[in-house]
Amino acid sequence: MIPRALLDHINANYRESLGDLLDFLRIPGVGADPAHASDVRKSAAWLLGYLTRIGLDARLYETPGFPVIFAQYGKTPEAPTLLLYAHYDVAPPGPPEEWTVSPFIPVVRGGLIFARGAVDDRGQLFSVLQAIACTISVDGGLPVNVKLLLEGEEEIGSPGLGAFIREHKGLLCADIVVVVDILKYRSDMPAAYYGSKGLLSVTVDVSGPSVSLHSGIYGGDIVNPADVLVRILGSLKNADGRILVPGFYDRVREVTPEERSDFAALPFDRDGIKAMLGVEPVAQEEGYTPLECVMARPTLSVNGLWGGALPGAPLMIIPASAGALVSFRLVPDQRPDEIYRLLKAHVDSLIPPGIGVNLHIDSCHEPFVTSRDSIAVVIVSRALEAAFGQRPVLVRSGGTSGIVPMLKKAVGVQDIVITGWGDPGDGEHSSDEHFSIENYRRGIVATAAIMYELAIIKGETPAR
Amino acid sequence: MIPRALLDHINANYRESLGDLLDFLRIPGVGADPAHASDVRKSAAWLLGYLTRIGLDARLYETPGFPVIFAQYGKTPEAPTLLLYAHYDVAPPGPPEEWTVSPFIPVVRGGLIFARGAVDDRGQLFSVLQAIACTISVDGGLPVNVKLLLEGEEEIGSPGLGAFIREHKGLLCADIVVVVDILKYRSDMPAAYYGSKGLLSVTVDVSGPSVSLHSGIYGGDIVNPADVLVRILGSLKNADGRILVPGFYDRVREVTPEERSDFAALPFDRDGIKAMLGVEPVAQEEGYTPLECVMARPTLSVNGLWGGALPGAPLMIIPASAGALVSFRLVPDQRPDEIYRLLKAHVDSLIPPGIGVNLHIDSCHEPFVTSRDSIAVVIVSRALEAAFGQRPVLVRSGGTSGIVPMLKKAVGVQDIVITGWGDPGDGEHSSDEHFSIENYRRGIVATAAIMYELAIIKGETPAR
């Protein structure tokens, strides 16, 4: 339970901190754009200063890419430790003409803050910082030890995070981890995510003759790399959404009857999705509901295709090479390295003479799922209920968390949950990204509540 | 039989005409490059002047694109008429760094003329003009009526030729047609091509959601256009090269036992192809030899693929759309319009809800095959034997002729053959294109011989 005085202080002061958040949002920390590399570093420097100003012991760690910031407060050995993760880099803004505001000139309008990064993840990160600042200010300290792991490469696939975590295991020990980098299930339904899918994304490069050839003169006696590519890709999944790589399902943990019944009880806004995307959502694997497919069944997508003639410029050739990006979203207990081996064996069996196929792993992350009874899930659920006035839904994410499996593996923390306070319609990774000031306030309350709930639950729990 | 005096005149004078050919090759008539549009017109004007200068009645006909030039000599109703086709436009030169000379600054070196268009088709066209000029000069006229159809859009798919032919049927009537726009079978084997494949090339556009989507969040409940595309393309052909579109083979005329035995007797330079392309040639349809597949079996190639993530920039999305260019090379008696209907029915049967598939025909040409005993084949064979000192091989082209089926259909000429005097290694459509001066000379002799052989065969043949 969050103390009454703290809640009053938060409600009385959260608006004052908005000026600082807007300053933060003015720095275009787009890691994917080399022109903004110095702005990502500027964002890190600004954040480091801010963390120090609110009383945290913060330090910047260089990586081969953009720095990681680690900050902490409280080092009482007998107190429980909460590790919070968020990221300070932002996604590219995309085409400026799709925005009604300028992505890096924040605008407050109708209770919403518009800017790239407003919700993902700077606004959510800032709620965490305000919770810490307010608590220190009212209570003179925090009820638990708090560690902050703030990344600057999330939007480019966290290339440097694994090495940082492995090198600083000791620093990262914690009782529970809360990753603040996701949205509510629906704007009126806060959510605790107790699982996320793994990811194996692979570039498939098929090569054949040394140069592209006339498809008439050579179509009868030279194997076409593009033909082989579509034969390989077409063999990976059938029309019922069943993935055909032999052995692919061997380790898939079935959706439990309890989960099936919980997922079935969740609202599923078929019409809203159709209105937004122009197509009706349909379960992509036979025998499962759309939500089960999204949250708990492995999927396979062809993400990109290239080679030979370009659209609008017909050229009747046998291209010298063709390629594709394919990705598998995996569920427990699938292992990306094993799936890669199965994929490779399957692909190798389809390569005709005269053709080379090279597979390159672009991303590789483990799936994760935590018990819904775990301390992290229980604490975050209580905190969200305190902040939003209603019981959150317990769901699994169809997306992939890079950080969670890294922490599990390197640091050994098992008690991890993913949450956040933005709304699904907030334009994350899209145009006119925004964050409601009310969600910002509730995020501060939720973070404060997480700290107090951890203190309480650990107090109730016998010493370990 | 070509008169001795004419042969002596050709041998004594062909070198003098090379200066004119080099002037012609200096004009960069690349129809595919808008920057060279005026040069294509300049080429046409230059050619029109040249034709007039050597005594032909030549006229330029505008089309929506580049002009057609039609020229003739002799209008004696009782004499047979020969229609010769060639084209004056050239293929784009491609990357300059792949050339050891400048494509439009012709160079003569070691008996070879280097320039874009040297062999395809300006050099071959020029042999035809010299044969006419020499014959007029020695004999005071031609032994047959001669018509020249000279196109300026061959390298961009002849978009305006069909309409021109339909509108000028009367002009194009002839006893036989010789298309001068192909190479020998091997440098030491002249060839008369009595057939060429048809072509149906189709752009397949698959569209799904209104925007590209996160493959984790939507991979379970939104159909992926790229997945559908590879499923469609993967269903068109099996690993044995058999095309799986229902009904595709219904009208395929089988290779005759006589052709099979003739093709089997042709040399097939497996090692040369492997050395040149880095891959071994292999029959692409089970049950046929490589040469049978190239010359007389229908084939299907995926010529290009696009959509979603680009090479080297992994992006785990469900692309909003994906597309491909596929082309069928057809054999008699397949009909491209019918094959299109079969393809469309097959594709339509594979479209899941939420996905739109649009098929667009990019090229559509009928296959053709002439009897090997036809007058055109007999005459051209005799003429090639006279010019090259050896009996030519009778073969079919795996490529597609636009002009032949158009003439057959609109004008009703059945007696058509395709030939040429360049060598397969002359760099047609590639870098350092060249044409041997000796082949140029023999081409002049061959053309003159075609005119005399037609006069002889028609004299021997009873009146029609």
Closest-CA residue of A relative to B292 is A220
Closest CA to A428 of A45, A57, A100, A115: A115
Looking up tokens 């752009």, which residue turns up?
B203
Contact call for A353 and B282, based on CB within 8 A: yes
Residue A250's alpha-carbon distances to A244, A276, A332, in angstroms, are 12, 36, 11
Among A233, A310, A327, beta carbon nearest to B215: A327
CA distance B120 to chain A (A): 15
Among B221, B293, B323, beta carbon nearest to A221: B293
Closest-CA residue of A relative to B222 is A281
A155-196: pLDDT as tens digits: 888 889 999 999 999 999 999 999 999 999 999 999 999 999
Rounded Cα–Cα distance for residues A106 and A433 (Å): 10
Among B223, B234, B239, beta carbon nearest to A279: B223
A contacts of B209 (beta carbons < 8 Å):
277-279
B122-157: pLDDT as tens digits: 999 999 999 999 999 999 999 999 999 999 999 888
Choosing among A197, A310, A325, which should be mutated to test the B contact, i.e. which has the most B CBs within 10 A? Answer: A325
Rounded Cα–Cα distance for residues A115 and B288 (Å): 64
At B3 the pLDDT is 93
Choosing among A155, A231, A266, A302, which should be mutated to test the B contact, i.e. which has the most B CBs within 10 A? Answer: A302
Angle at A71 between CA A163 and CA A81, to 5 degrees: 90
| Residue B464 reports pLDDT greater than 50 | no
Cβ-contact A125, A54 below 8 angstroms: no
At A455 the pLDDT is 94
One-letter amino acid at A354 equals G
Closest-CA residue of B relative to A223 is B284
At A411 the pLDDT is 85
Cβ-contact A21, A117 below 8 angstroms: no
Give all domains of chain B, ordered by start, each with its CATH number: 4-196+367-460 (3.40.630.10), 198-252+298-365 (3.30.70.360)
A62-118: pLDDT as tens digits: 999 999 999 999 988 889 999 999 999 999 888 888 899 999 999 999 999 999 999
Choosing among A98, A303, A317, A318, which should be mutated to test the B contact, i.e. which has the most B CBs within 10 A? Answer: A303
Residue A420's alpha-carbon distances to A186, A274, A379, A399, A429, in angstroms, are 12, 25, 14, 14, 16
Mean pLDDT of A30-53: 96
Contact call for A352 and B303, based on CB within 8 A: no
Closest-CA residue of B relative to A429 is B214
Contact call for B279 and A354, based on CB within 8 A: yes
Tokens of A342: 């199965």
Closest CA to A398 of B221, B212, B314: B221
- Residue B315: count of CB within 10 angstroms of its CB: 17
Closest-CA residue of B relative to A155 is B315
* Exposed / middle / buried, residue B313 (Cβ in 10 Å: 0-12, 13-18, 19+): exposed
At A414 the pLDDT is 86
Q: What is the largest CA-CA distance in chain B?
A: 83
At A276 the pLDDT is 87
Among B230, B315, B399, beta carbon nearest to A234: B230
Tokens of B143: 């032994």
Residue A322's alpha-carbon distances to A230, A358, B45, B126, B345, in angstroms, are 9, 11, 42, 39, 27
Choosing among A197, A243, A316, A358, which should be mutated to test the B contact, i.e. which has the most B CBs within 10 A? Answer: A316
Contact call for A301 and B318, based on CB within 8 A: yes
Contact call for B282 and A215, based on CB within 8 A: no
A contacts of B277 (beta carbons < 8 Å):
209-211, 213, 218, 222
B155-180: pLDDT as tens digits: 888 889 999 999 999 999 999 999 99
At A413 the pLDDT is 87
